[in-house]
Structure 1
Amino acid sequence: MQQPLAYRMRPTKIEDIVGQQDLVGPGKIINRMVQAKMLSSMILYGPPGTGKTSIASAIAGSTEYAFRTLNAATDSKKELQIVAEEAKMSGTVVLLLDEIHRLDKAKQDFLLPLLEKGSIILIGATTENPYISINPAIRSRTQIFEVHPLTPDDIIQAIQRALTDSQNGLANYHVKIANDALDFLSKATNGDLRTALNALELAVKSTNGDSDGNVNISLAIIEECLQRKSLSSDKNGDAHYDVISALQKSIRGSDTDAALHYASRLIAAGDLVSLMRRLLVIAYEDIGLANPAACARTVSAVDAARQLGLPEARIPLANAIIELALSPKSNSAMSAIDGALSDVKTGNFGDVPDHLKDAHYKGATDLGHGVDYKYPHDYPNDWVNQQYLPDKIKRAQYYIPKENGKIEQRLKAQYEQLRKATRPNNY
């Protein structure tokens, strides 16, 4: 039986990887490891279909090491022992261990000494946050890299490669895909290349050729094979992003009915992922400190929606949408962190004050590190006036409080009282 298109199109060398150029592009960390043949074990985490397996396969192909794939949840310790024996006989083996967050203690204890020796280069793949879900013993022996959903341009690049590949792809079918179908396929899969390629293959193989032997793929065919509807029939390719933008602006503008309308467009299109992600962004970007409880309830609503799936997912999300639209708004937290980041990125900062530097090592006192630090818990009300910012930016103010909700009104009063105590010359 022939393997799915997404499997057949997996890259065999690092240069063929689509997306994730911050990791595998020229001069980037994984590319450097491959070029120098100085591989270290790593954990790749991110959503499904974003290239974790492809990166592992390409690393093995580029370094000409043996490549093996196991699943931490379903494969036994015996399978790990077989890989270990192969490494002992033939040299280094690159092992992709899928669902590494499901690794039990027996398998972990078996792997650890092999990782220490370097006979197995472990590439763990997971959709879970490794800092939470993976045992510290494994984390300490690996580098952790986050992979991100592919962009529509990445997806289009991979689709076009598949359509012109006569050995592993679909070139022999003489496919002609309509521009709106290609655009929809690249966007509706939310950065999941596996889903995009497998839907494309289904579309091609289930469509009869025309009199010239060409297979013509329309938007309607892609919609059917993806089981998702296009948000719009327009030809500019911006409908998906326009709807998401309109959703956020409607909530920001406190128009509940408009927000529910645009959310319904995403639900009708089956785009639950974009809707959930955007609601999380809106909660913390636009409501923020004016109503932190609404932010927390949005997270709970998204978690519930993720577990329920459509159609029931619409119910907790509707609760969140209505509350966010009617809530007081504040973007002060986002503006504050963006201001601080701007200073850092432009080099507008100085050294950490000596009294705040780490003093937990021999010789720190001789350098003046930690000297004169005042421990707040030793003082009344657990607070004492001392400088925390570097001298160069000691008068900087990033947080500009708003008064659009009772919570931030209280935060503003506290913030201004503390600034008056620590920076009296600013007032």
Structure 2
Amino acid sequence: MAIEPLPYRMRPKTLDDIIGQQHILGKETALYKMIAKQHVPSMLLYGEPGIGKTSIAHAIAGSSQLPFFSLNATQAGKKDVEDIIVEARISGKVLLFLDEIHRFNKLQQDTLLPHVESGAIVLIGATTENPFHDVNPAIRSRCGEILQLHRLSVDDMTTIIHRALADEKNGLGRYDIAITDDQIEQLAIASNGDARKALTLLESVYYASDERDGKTIVDDATIASLAKRIGVYGDQQGSHFYNLLSALQKSVRGSDVDAALYYLAHLLESGDLTAVNRRLLVMAYEDVGLANAHVGSQVLAAVQASERLGLPEARIPLANAVVLMCLSEKSNSAYKALDAAIEAIHSGKTGDIPLHLRDTHYKGAQSLGHVGYEYPHNHPIGTFGGWVDQQYLPDVLVGTHFYTPVIAGEEKRLATIYERLQQFKK
């Protein structure tokens, strides 16, 4: 068997070999038609590991016939870039695949940029990070296409596995392997849309399986033991991690318990308990808010319990907190009201604090006119406690309303009180 790993050997040679990503490389797409006519634009490929960035770059190289060079930005230096520039001057045009492009420093970028701009170097950059956050704007501006790749489907994965099992030259086709369609589907599901993991898992299963009478017999137990954590991708500092946090919050906000628990599970598997706890506390006040004011203290208790317990037991109180927030009434009225007040200040809507509200805890306050404040507790109003009609906002803001109640859960009662107090004002 060849020394190279199976994913490397099975890498697509041309665009027609690519499985999946039809939204950007299907035969009817503009990019496919351009490359078929030997016109390759500079581009950025953005997506999670194993979904085809490197394979697409190699396939484009195979379809375009351009001299092809591949660098990894975590290892390449200025000299590597200069060597490719020399080759571009000799050949007229070269295709450069730059993996982990967001790791390129400014000096390396400055060396490369004019040659990309002139067309001497066609750049295909690949990144797992959001290019709008992590790729230098100068690089982005010279790449006409920013292509977001999607995780491959189970059908795509089974096709990739079947192809590897049938390929006698680069795959496992020369070996007699007894594997069922159900087992192939198990491999496809376990790899979680990552083609590299699927082929790595397939190769591992082949080597770990018993051989009988010259035939390799794959059993379910071998697949299960090797596939335990293959679906976990946990770069705690990367875009995918923050996308998971965003998806968790939006699922809770949308009251989808199953989706919220799925994203919570993925986040906890990444191991960053601190970031998860911080986001859950924010959600309690941002998304549930006054509609169920008790949720804030309940989520805080769950977070504190998780910190004492640590993983894996921390998942238990956090699961309770997520389900509670999902199924709670929701309101964002309080923080939206504060944001409106902040916006008013930033837009210049400020004024003097009314004299009767100013500090009087010093001699001479009366001589400055700091008088006239009425103590609300001295004016009982039903079961509310105390209230008196007096001005609190500066003169220029009198009559301004920042708070708009949401008629949900406990805030319905607060909204009633708010509206009634408005009616009492002169």
Residue matched to 1:403 = 408
Residue matched to 2:82 = 81
1:128 to 1:318, Cα distance in 2 relative to 1, 3 A: farther
* Structure 2 counterparts to residues 227-246 of structure 1, below 5 A: 227-228=228-229
Q: Is the 8 A contact 2:330 2:409 kept in 1?
A: no
Give the deviation of 1:289 after TM superposition: 3.6
Q: 1:209 is paired with a residue of what secondary structure?
A: strand
Of residues 320, 323, 342, the one that matches 1:322 is: 320
Residue matched to 1:184 = 186
Q: Is the 8 A contact 2:157 2:193 kept in 1?
A: yes
Q: How far apart are the structure 1 equivalents of 2:64 and 2:139?
A: 23
RMSD (Å), alpha carbons: 4.8
One-letter amino acid of the counterpart of residue 124, structure 2: I
Q: 2:189 is paired with a residue of what secondary structure?
A: helix
Give the deviation of 1:54 after TM superposition: 0.6
Q: Is the 8 A contact 2:209 2:219 kept in 1?
A: no
Residue matched to 2:207 = 205
1:67 to 1:229, Cα distance in 2 relative to 1, 3 A: closer
Residue matched to 2:237 = none
Residue matched to 2:354 = none
Q: How far apart are the structure 1 equivalents of 2:286 and 2:30?
A: 35
Residue matched to 1:97 = 98
Of residues 156, 169, 172, the one that matches 2:171 is: 169
- Unmatched runs of 5 consecutive residues or more in structure 1: 231-247, 306-310, 334-375, 385-400, 415-427
1:44 to 1:229, Cα distance in 2 relative to 1, 3 A: closer
Residue matched to 1:290 = 288
Q: How far apart are the structure 1 equivalents of 2:73 and 2:83?
A: 14
Asked if residue 138 in structure 1 is aligned to residue 139 in structure 2, the reply is: yes
CA deviation digits over 1:141-198, x for unaligned, max 9? 1121111211111111100000000110000112222333222211122111101101
Normalised to the residue count of structure 1, the TM-score between the two structures is 0.62
Q: 2:129 is paired with a residue of what secondary structure?
A: coil
* Structure 2 counterparts to residues 221-370 of structure 1, below 5 A: 221-228=222-229, 252=255, 272=269, 289-291=287-289, 314=312, 317-318=315-316, 320-327=318-325, 329=328
Give the deviation of 1:318 after TM superposition: 4.6
One-letter amino acid of the counterpart of residue 325, structure 1: V
Residue matched to 1:47 = 48
Q: Is the 8 A contact 1:287 1:331 kept in 2?
A: no
Q: 1:171 is paired with a residue of what secondary structure?
A: coil
Q: How far apart are the structure 2 equivalents of 1:214 and 1:86?
A: 49
Residue matched to 2:155 = 153
Q: How far apart are the structure 1 equivalents of 2:113 and 2:80?
A: 15
1:254 to 1:76, Cα distance in 2 relative to 1, 3 A: closer
Give the deviation of 1:224 after TM superposition: 2.5
Give the deviation of 1:322 after TM superposition: 2.3
Give the deviation of 1:103 after TM superposition: 0.6
Give the deviation of 1:36 after TM superposition: 3.0
Q: How far apart are the structure 2 equivalents of 1:109 and 1:329?
A: 53
1:89 to 1:223, Cα distance in 2 relative to 1, 3 A: same
One-letter amino acid of the counterpart of residue 202, structure 1: S
Give the deviation of 1:283 after TM superposition: 11
1:156 to 1:120, Cα distance in 2 relative to 1, 3 A: same
- Unmatched runs of 5 consecutive residues or more in structure 2: 232-250, 333-345, 350-395, 401-405, 420-426
Normalised to the residue count of structure 2, the TM-score between the two structures is 0.62
Q: Is the 8 A contact 2:96 2:122 kept in 1?
A: yes
Of residues 151, 172, 195, the one that matches 1:193 is: 195
1:158 to 1:144, Cα distance in 2 relative to 1, 3 A: same
1:40 to 1:208, Cα distance in 2 relative to 1, 3 A: same
Q: Is the 8 A contact 1:49 1:194 kept in 2?
A: yes
Q: How far apart are the structure 1 equivalents of 2:57 and 2:409?
A: 49
Residue matched to 1:64 = 65
Q: How far apart are the structure 2 equivalents of 1:224 and 1:69?
A: 35
Q: How far apart are the structure 1 equivalents of 2:195 and 2:410?
A: 43
